[in-house]
Chains A and B, each alone.
Chain A
Amino acid sequence: MFIDLKNVSFTYNLNMPFETEVLKSLNISINKGEFVGIIGHTGCGKTTLLQLLNGLLEPTVGNVFVDGIDIHKEKNKLREIRKKIGLSFQYPENQLFEETIFKEIAFGPKNLGLKGNNLIENVKKAMKMVDLDYSNYKERSPFNLSGGEMRRVAIASILAIDPEVIILDEPTASLDPQTRNKLLNLIKDLFRCYNKTIVLVSHNMEVIAELAQRIIVMEKGRIVLNDTPKNIFRNNVELLEEVGLAIPQITSIVHKLRKMGKPIRTDILNIEEAKNEILKIARNNR
């Protein structure tokens, strides 16, 4: 277990008139090398959860363990913990501020004490991970880029501290389809080729279904489902709709065909699987 939330609750404005409990007795474990998707409607507590995962917020009740360390008991280790867990907020490009892309990406590792060649190597490596050519981009302004490039610079600036876990909150919002697909492939590579642990939050069910190994569904500060994408989207259509979510469009089509009595599998998540299944049935009918 790499990140472990034990019986965690979180209340904003504790002991004040506007006290709101947003997370209720959560138990979540995220393993090293895992790709976890988190879904839930707006206001279900996702963002608060992300901030708990890397120690930005302290739980009102319960404990957060990272790599076996109770991060709020051993505060001197908090800095080290944050280095292990990179968090990319929604629209991370809004946080860009430096003059050049190099300085932007070097900001984090520099603060952690990296200098000289080590610093340059870290920046180079981070830029490679998000497919930005070092010599081409390093001196350019981060503000004079396309939406997709800005997003990648922002993510590179998190990768530059070489975290083991990368938490991404809605990383593809407002990107055009091809730019989105490209970024998703980069995220896949971070997981597959660079062995990063990924926690991805998104409202896009297709994206979550395609990438995550396990999905956590949240509703009103609680976990209502925690399972593989196939199981989640096969068995819980009504529940997901009740909590403001949906199933991927392709999955919805096979569910409806099944309801009409067609002999089609309902654990289908993408076009490729749907195509093969439909062609198979068509062949059998002949």
Chain B
Amino acid sequence: MIRFSNVTHIYHNNREDNTISLSDISIDINAGDFVAVIGANGSGKSTFAKHINGLLLPSNGSVVVDGYDTKDKNKIWELRKKVGMVFQNPDNQLVATTIEDDIAFGMENIGIEEYEMRKRVEWALNLVDMADLRNKEPHLLSGGQKQKVVIAGALAMHTSYLVLDEPTSMLDPKGRKEIFDTIKRLNKEEDITIIYITHFMSEAAEFDKIIVLDKGKIALTGTPKNIFLHHNKLQKLNLELPQVTLLARQLSENGLKISPNILNEKEMIKELCSLI
């Protein structure tokens, strides 16, 4: 479990106006959760993410992951094995000349023996469905495939939590779908906890739970069905409803007997099918 207890984070920018980017946040994310984090630019999403593996430490309060306090310097490497991070641009996270070396990079750093390493690379490649492409050079992969290599590198460390900070913002539609399908499978089949930051509301709608951040505070948490009921509040927070939800609402307001709270394509087609 990840536990944020009264976490405040202040960025010191060497001037008087230090920026408070997280403000007294308390929240639990349970093992096995499938959570999206949304919020306006500057609402503290990335700062929140970087607290989970101790890349940033709280100015006040604490973050504890499976009993490890991120402030405990002796345990920081144990903690980082548990929490894998995936950022926007995979090119910044790929370091080696082959896919297998890239996945093995983290393990080499912590001195895992070769036999075990090979076994884990194999296992991780299969989990992200990249075994066929193992001999390709990383720079020749598509954006989505590169992100999957980054994810595999984290999995090879036997990570239990994957924190993904806008991993699809540079990807084409196919790449976006590949990443989403991969993390969903990792969550449902391998029980890996997913914390996923996104600006795409249609992506967020597919998670079990959404955390909405606003000015460093948690504005809302709940299931997508609940969150997207708060249309006006979301707009004030610089967010919006997924396109299908907007369409459902407008249809319902115009007298069509359709649920105004539809979240994805499938539900929409199912409802419309009996209406028109």
Contact = CB atoms under 8 A, between A and B. Distances in A.
Are A and B physically bound partners? yes
Interface of A is mostly: helix
A173 B169 contact: yes
Given A43-B142, A146-B42, A147-B41, A176 B275 contact: no
B231 interface: no
A275 B254 contact: yes
A179 B40 contact: yes
Given A174-B88, A177-B199, A245-B173, A253 B273 contact: no
A278 B250 CA distance: 11
Interface in A244-265: 244-246, 248-250, 252-253, 256-257, 260, 262, 264
Nearest to B234: A177
A216 to B, nearest CB: 15
B170 interface: yes
Interface stretch (B22-30, B64-72, B78-86, B241-249): B241-249
A176 B251 contact: no
Interface residues of B, number: 42
A42 B175 contact: yes
Nearest to A40: B172
B102 interface: no
Contacts of B254: 275, 279
A101 B134 CA distance: 47
Contacts of A148: 41
A16 to B, nearest CB: 16
9 contacts: A40-B172, A42-B172, A146-B42, A174-B41, A175-B41, A178-B239, A262-B272, A279-B254, A282-B256
What 8 A-B pairs are tightest by C-beta distance, nearest first?
A: A246-B173, A147-B41, A244-B174, A178-B238, A42-B143, A41-B172, A177-B240, A176-B40
Given A147-B41, A257-B269, A262-B272, 17 more contacts: A42-B170, A90-B170, A174-B41, A178-B239, A178-B240, A180-B199, A206-B243, A244-B173, A246-B173, A246-B177, A249-B202, A250-B247, A253-B269, A260-B273, A271-B247, A282-B275, A285-B276
